[in-house]
Structure 1
Amino acid sequence: MAKDQGLGGWSLNVQHSYSPATLFTGRTLFLGTGERRNAASIGQAVVHAVGNVGGCTRTGGDPSPVVNPSGIVGAPDGSLYISTADANQIVRVSRDGPVTVVAGVDFYTPGTTADGVPATQARLSYPTDLALAPDGTLYFAERDAYRIRRIAPDGIVWTVAGTGIRGLTGDGGPARLAQIGFVLGLALGGDGSLYISADGHIRRVRPDGLIMRFAGYGTSTSDGAQAMQSAMNPAGIAVAPDGSVYVTDPSANKVRRIGVDGTIRTVAGTGAFGSAGDGNLATLATLNQPSSVLAGDSFGSFVVADGSKVRSVGSDGIISSITGDFNGHFNQFGVFVTNDRLLRDGFFWTTAYAGGFYVHGKLARGAEGSLYVGRFNICEVVKITPAVPGFTVNGILLASDDGSELYSFDAAGRHLETRDGLTNTQIRSFAYDAAGRLVGITDRTGNSTQIVRDATGKPYAIVSPYGQTTSLTVDGAGDLIEVRNPAGEAYSASYYEGELLKTFSTPRGLASDFTYDADGRLTMDRGPSRSVFTLSSTRTDTSVTSQVTTAMGLVSTYQATVLPTSGFLRQTTLPGGIVATSLLGIDSSITNTSPDGTVVTMQRSADARYGVQAPVTASFTARTPSGRTLSMVSSRSITQSDLNDPLSLLTLTDRSTVTGRSWTTTYDRGGRTITSTTPTGLSATSVLDGLGRVSEIDSPGVLPLAITYDDRGRLQAVAQGDRTMSLSYDSNGYLSSVRDPLGRFTNLFNDPVGRVLNSSLQGNSTAITYDAN
């Protein structure tokens, strides 16, 4: 991702990127510091799309237009097709709202009709799942008629598979002459193949109309087996762009993936019934009879309807909840939702027994990128959309891991601005050229740093707000090979083919060189003064073990192991056999064990606004080997002016309690104050200015501090009563003098990069020199 920033393969620490930029694909935040982390976009809201709110009967007793939505599919024009199982109809909801019947003659009258008639004149027999072809052909399953049918673009109904008799015959022959079973899922592949899940099997209707066995004809439940030899009870089914097939197995509480090579593997669920594990690997999470799945990309991302929850799994394998909770509550429409946020309010999502499976809802992807969810036995379809005003469906809003900053990105993953996570004031904004390359960064007070590029887009200078220039040299391959600071000191780098760093040299000529294995993993780091570190790693299906060996033969070992029933264990073994461990539990707890036996356990919970992106510590316990224990319990409460908008914060209160004594910190946006209160009732208040900076501090027993800033955002003065300390700066923006409350001056003289060369106080002077580094 760093090469995409147009800075020669390097990045600036304050500029980040997000990839990819949709709700359904892997969600990786690439930080400018070189770190990366899983991060699902916050700011989603559940809104009513079609049907009745909270029931299946309209005012006056008329039925809902979507009675038990059993299948949903989005069309390119923004409309939705919805099969209404109990109404024996299929309806189309246009982008602007009107609902029209496209198949089925009336409510509650099942039946079957011969081929070749208009779909609006045909009787249907409990239509379930839907699939839409690029040419507009709509496929649907008639569950109780044991058929798959299609509505051609001209509106005429034709049978695709099934004779009307339940069975499992006809493989290798025409699908229209084959018996099929109780159909729960349909999916279209990129080549036009139609996949059918029914009666413990998956079958494939090829584009030439022949039906073939695909999966579920054996007894194996192991990963890595051929799908044909596996045992399953499939329900929802989806085909990824690479041709792999995802299938939910409600009876096994798993989601499985069938690769293009025909092997099957579990991608979510341990097999145990539950709803835990958000923030961890999906294969360590428990599921609640998953019913429907949407494939996101070719890298393993997908969305699953899991009981009363809708959950997403990124390309990194991490699972998180989009909405809903395990106890049967689904967020009421219009209520802001985010990962792991469990609301007590909302509608109860009733489960419906259907052919041995508990079917909780169908999922569909809208043309604009929204997620649609059918609420079975509620007779409603809801839409999950961005909740933050001003953000489009493809706009991305992410929180830093501590929630102190918010990062907004456009649909291409470009970092647009950073905002304060508490006050919502803008901290910095980013400007790009027509090719999407960074050209400027502006802070909250208007100071602008420019990235200067030549006609081809190569960067050759970074110019600070005060005019200092850092020169950049980029070679023909687009790699940054030299950085020369305003003092003329140069750092240089070279690279292997493939952009891996080969050497790095300082202004003194001290060089480090690096060696990698065939997979691009670092195997040796030779630094100045003959320091050598050798690295090696071994991998199994459940663990990675890395070793670092020094030139003196001292070995440190780092092991990461997936524990199927408890979580993710990291163990560090230092020379001499000193061992420390850290266990990330599937319940989002962290247990750290020090070499001396001290055990620290932290239980994390989702932040009220930013979810698992910025988890907060709910409890903390430290226990020494002698048995002494310290415990703390923490909580956070908020109020918002708009439940749909996580940025409409009014107040936020953090409370920490140790042995019955509580400390609280409260932020009040209206008064722009942060007030901290001790268990004895003493309070200190910080007042913020319009840019979110501290402008006043009131502490008990002393005069308040007044803090002022100059027009460039630099600290200008701190006053307490009649005592004032003031600061001045040179033309390069560096601190040049400090006047203390007694009127004495400390003067500082700096070189072009801000290093202090000389300081003086009351006639006494100190000179400072530096080496080339």
Structure 2
Amino acid sequence: MAGVLAVLFALAAVAPGAAQEGDTATVEVRVWQDVGNEFDIYVSARPAGGSWRTLGTIPLPLDDGTSSSGRFQYGDISLDVPLLGRADPATVEVRVWQDVGGSSSIFISARPAEGDWRILGTIPLPLDDGVSSSGRFRYGNISLDVPVPRRPVSTLAGSAGSLGSSDGQGDGARFGAHAVFSQHRPWALGLAAAPDGSVVVADYYNDAIRRVGPDGTVTTIAAGRGDRDGEAEDARFYHPRGVAVDGRGTIYVADERNHRIRAITADGVVSTVAGTGRWEYVDGPAEEAGIINPRGVALGPLGDLYIIEATRIRRLSPAGQVSTFAGGERNGYQDGWRENAEFFSLQAIAIDDDGNIFVIDINDRGGLEEYSAVRLIDTTGTVQTVLRSDGLNSGGSLGYPAGIAPAGDGGVYLSNTGLHQIVRLTRAGDLEAVAGTGEKGWLDGTRGEARFNLPGPLALSPDGVLFVADQATTVVRAVELARGGLPAGAVPLATYEGPPRAVGVTVTALPQLDTFNSDGFALSPDGYLIGPGSFLNDVRRLAPDGTVTVLAGDGERGFLDGPAEEARFSNPSYVAVDADGNVYVLDGGNEAIRRIAPDGHVTTVLDWLPTGLFSITGLAVDADGNLLIGDESNGVWRLEDGQLSIAARVQPGWLSAIDVDASGRLHYAAGRSFPVTIGSISEVGSVTVLVEAGPGHYGGAFSGWLRDIAVASDGTVYAVDLDYQRVMSISPDGDVAIVVDIQSFPGVTRFDPHAVLVTPEGDLLVSEFNRIWRVTLP
């Protein structure tokens, strides 16, 4: 049976509140013996629960020595066992003994590297845990608790990538409860350092307030969805987002969906200190004040509690009065006197000992207008920008930071979320890396070795430990900051490397007249482009020479079938053409699907839409000539013989575009939520994901709006990214590149691609509202 051996090693005491890895890491060792030749010994090792293939099976000749009596011979081996989530391995030295006269008798000793064999003595190891598949070898297992040094960056609590709500110590605890949204809302674990050395956590999706002790033990203070004060075990919250802790241990909570600020006293009583619970903006006495979706809280040195909403900073005074401290109702960006200042979307707040207020303000509308800014309201009430960065896809240095903490020297620590790094922003506006390589992952180690994954909120303890909500809200990490500051350049500053640009691409304008609306189009079998005249209430045809003619519709808004010149449409949009030349039209104003036959006759094939006009994201025709209708929330509908049915569903995310390749396989883009996915769906409904990417503001290659896709004969998918104003290619292997963007059009100030198709020659046609570009690929 398996043995258990504890390898003890004196560790330095850990200061109260300091982050630490457990004292030991469990390593499992397996000793093999050849049944036919009992002197033939092998050793394997792995981290607890890992794979025996980690180090393989190593021969161990028992020729390193004999016992003083000569009865036993032994062999020594030093094992460096890689550990999950740590940059450095656990090193253990193992000695295997064998009775020369009774070769089936095996004993084992172990010690830390360069330790003393006598500490633990020699333990029998029966080789009765199993045999090899061939039956040639038998083996015995043993677990060794190996000491590991504390690392400057360590995991305090939680299990990387595992969601849940369970309490426990270290990796036995779980945070976060929504697999899709938690991945891309790194702010969903609010943090605050408490005076007793613990960390208070607002667990957003579990509607819970939790505490992490200095040893990594997680306990739940209050939990459960609702809106109720009282004893902590009876109280209820609804998506608590931010927390702050005062010197007496009172916890203040930004209870976002309840529109309240709550307090939890040290003896466990929950009360509402501000907010009526209604969606309203009202200053005045705390019990009458209206607070809208509070996102964070921070305590000032004079006892004021500052509250951030989307575009305002509110102040709750010690006397119980709520006032608007800075900002207003409108999204904007304006420095100056605090009452005149404007904020776009406040994400986090921190206050230093002097009373300077720092906030993270972002433009989260997407596209090339994205920015991240750190703004300061100094003690005179003046708002100024310390650093403003364009979005990562526009060459910026900040990737939507989600956490901020005062650095004590006039600067602040930031979670540079999209670049997976912790940085310090100096008062002069310079960025310095603190911890993390910038490579996405989870790895403890030195500050230069550690890896983070979308780090979020920060909290700084009085003794210099920076706590980080990491792994997209599944773990709490700790960064021990060097005494006396951090050496400049000690950790390289992470930068963003976006998708490569395709080379050898040429762009020319297609000859056309302004009377062809190319917001969405399709190619007919005879080489004409078919486009909807959305505001002209007709469907038009563009010839290769640029001549535009009306295919159907008399230009009057209406709903009438019949000959082409008599038919009426109302704001037609998407079109698709089948192999016989039938044109299908989404007749938006009439919420119907119309068909234009090759002779121009118009009929209605569907006089209702399954989910409403604004849910439709495209039309395509499958290999059997059936019409496919993209529906952003339900997937893809198939219209066959007048009957509508679901052809495929796409999860997660909302469907934003569809196309069918030459073989009849359906391709899709789900790009109005995250992660952005592009893939294909077989006839039986199985989904193959070609590429999956996080939000562009966190460094993903795509924005949230993939307007259209087209599939080439070689399987390459071309995607129109409207917000980032570019067309991307995705190879069959999932490699992403920029085909054209604003840089491809000298002298053009804006490029608004709406649709793309692949011509029989292999070129791309890319449409804007009133012009079409031919993109010739190498």
TM-score range, shorter chain: 0.3 to 0.5
Higher relative contact order (CA 8 A, sep 6+): 1
Per the normalisation by structure 2, the TM-score is 0.38
TM-score (norm 1): 0.38
